[in-house]
Amino acid sequence: MPGLYVYLWATPLYISETKFAVRSGEMAQGMGSAMTSVVSAGAGLVGLADGFAVRDFLQSRSALEALEGKTGYIKRMQLDVDDPLVRLDGDANRDKIFGYYSKMVKVQFNMLEQVVGVEAYAFTPEDAKVIADGVLSVSDEFADRLNERARDDALKLSEEQVKRAEQRVAEARRAVAEWRHKNVNIDPANNATMINQIIGQLESQLTEAKAQLLELNSLNRNNPRRQVIEERISALEVQIVDSRKRLAGVDDSVAAQIGDFEVLKSEQEFAEKNLIETQRSMEEARFNTLRQMRYVVMIASPNHSGGRRDIPTPFHLSAALSWPAWPVSF
């Protein structure tokens, strides 16, 4: 019966083969530099994980749906052929279509070479190549999704830290602005310097006035200028006392303002430095994700051989041997 099937009903199948690998910038760097065996082993494990991930994806229903969207796979395979073992009926349900896809698109992963091999069977060489190209395309998109997921996971924490740092800077700057508006004072430290300068000038004037008074007293205590100088001395002393109270009093003194302002200003400076550090960390995270980005490397392009595959093929032989267990059609 198997031989009769092969030579009477077997429909010729065409095959397009492709091989590719999933690599990352980190793996390429490891292969191109004298890295330690531990790092190389780590890169190898990453390659294994990515290779198995791509293989499992290509053997999934999601891959079939993606391939259908790109190539119209189902319509290409629903041809009117007599061969019951390779025919896909037009009323086939999802399960039968997926089972058919699993047998007509063979995916293997070579662990040693870390290479994914694909064999796409079809009824024409053109369709076989289109399907193999489609498999390669959906594999590339799958690698992009892996990159996007890894990038989102890696940057999520960094972006949240930057947002918190930006919020802290905004709050610190707002607190400084509100303090300045409330106290009508841009820089209390500068005010303190100005008051100290004023006190110095007043003390210099007081010293000069006292010297003048001493000179008048030595010459003539009844000099009419004596009262004027004494009044000036009293006024200068009052101004000096008031200025010192303003500088170092208890409540609204400049010294108290300096303390409050420095706390706010220090918080602002720390928040701004922290923001710079978190932004730098986020850029490093972005760089690391780029370095670890996966990409598909072509090993063997999908071929387009015009000749039909000889019959009996391994596909037909295995199918024929298991014929009694097969349904009439997929």
Q: Residue 196: pLDDT above 60?
A: yes
Q: Residue 30: pLDDT above 60?
A: no
What is the mean predicted confidence (pLDDT) over 3-9? 55
Q: Specify the pTM.
A: 0.60
What is the mean predicted confidence (pLDDT) over 265-274? 92
What is the mean predicted confidence (pLDDT) over 148-156? 83
**pLDDT computed for residue 210 by the predictor:** 83
* Cα angle 145-151-154, degrees, rounded to a multiple of 5: 140
The third-level CATH classification (topology) of the domain covering 2-158+293-325 is Bacterial polysaccharide co-polymerase-like (3.30.1890)
Question: Helix 188-219 and helix 254-291: axis angle, to 10°?
Answer: 150
pLDDT tens, residue by residue, 163-179:
999 999 999 999 988 87
What is the mean predicted confidence (pLDDT) over 210-222? 77
Neighbours of 173 (CB within 10 A): 15
Q: Which amino acid is at 212?
A: Q
**pLDDT computed for residue 43 by the predictor:** 47
Q: Residue 51: pLDDT above 80?
A: yes
Confidence of residue 6 (pLDDT cuts 50, 70, 90): low
More confident residue, 233 or 132: 132
Q: Residue 39: pLDDT above 50?
A: no
